[in-house]
Amino acid sequence: MLKVEDIKQARGRIRDSILVTPCARSETFSEMTGNDVFLKLENLQRTGSYKERGALNRILTLTEDERRRGLIAASAGNHAQAVSYHATRRGIPAEICMPLATPLNKVMATRRYGAEVLLHGANYDEAFDEALRRSKENNLTLIHPFDDLAVIAGQGSLGIELFEQQPDIEAVVTAIGGGGLISGVACVLKHARPSIRVIGVQTARLASMKEAVEHGKPVTLPVATTLADGIAVRRAGELTLPLVQKYVDEIVTVEEEEIASAILLLLEREKILAEGAGAVPLAALLNGKTKLSGKRVVLIVSGGNLDVTILSRIIERGLVQDGRMIRLRIHLPDYPGALHRLTGVLTEHRTNIVATAYDRAYYGVNFGDTAIDLTMETRGAEHVAVLLKALTEAGYLFERIT
């Protein structure tokens, strides 16, 4: 079982190479949630996530023979970059197995940091199996992303920082994938002050730790995709599960739309770029999953490695969730001026059209009529309600496309 002394030693080892990230108060989210909210910004680490802490601590505990033979790891992104960066800085050869579908930006970043990247398998599990095979075949040291006590101890250094920065902390909310981060942080905080609530958040699509706690053992879940790819772990860790059972007060889940909205809010309100896993604590707090009220709460923004090619999709998804983008299919008589009349209603209510599509043959359109799909920017749910009422009063038949 992990000991606090292990975490303190890890903190001493890595402190000269790891950024002490800010833990800043958010006026916006404090007002929105009725709590005193602070954001621990691990997205500001050199490689964009907290994963550096555990990877570096494990690397610094290697024997000379292990350093000479080299390392191997499996990861879909953040752990890969952390191992690549810190191994290369110390002259240690490293191989990283990444799934074939890993976003290009994460593959290129891992290569830039110096490791050899091997693309293998349809998902993390298949990439890990290949890393395990190669570690045995080539006598390489495998650095597990979460199920390793040295890795967990390194992640726990974040908990020491939290307590130094916010000694009056009453609750911590953080993402859970395999459980390495929350295990280390919770161990430190619960020994410092048992009354501190530690709440873990998972995506509802892959709540592997929640399932493991409920069943009393790790359970392998079916493959699923999620915006929070950094915590898309199908099976909780064997070492992390007992720590979670001992130290974590509660595990909650959030939906994909809630994650998208949280990413958007962090970007808009706090100018913070968070990946899906980094945004799930805020998603949980905003949507009442934690039932925290009037508490001094720290949300751990665990990473910010968001693929720019999907950022626009996430923003759009968040806009839809917040009611700031809507798509309607409106039936119109097919004669000159019909569209002009419709746009007049939209203009009157200050609605901006961003995309249109006409159809005369599908969607049950009558002869002499047409259907038009309009994607529009709005000011939120109240504005949408006013707009829909105005269209109804103007005699339009329409349906909302979701």
Residues acting as catalytic residues: 51, 302
CB 299 within 8 A of CB 39: yes
> d(Cα 61, Cα 222) in Å, to the nearest integer?
35
**Residue pointed to by tokens 């091997």:** 118
Per the CB < 8 A criterion, the answer to whether 168 and 219 are in contact is no
- Rounded distance between C-alpha atoms, residue 42 and residue 182, angstroms: 14
The Cα 221–Cα 254 span in angstroms is: 17
* 398 burial level (CB within 10 Å; 0-12, 13-18, 19+): middle
- Angle at which helices 51-60 and 149-165 cross, to 10°: 130
Close Cβ partners of 170 (under 8 Å, ≥ 6 residues apart): 195, 196, 197, 295, 296, 297
Query: How many Å is the Cα radius of gyration of the chain?
Result: 24
* Strand ranges, E, within 57-154: 71-74, 94-98, 116-119, 141-142
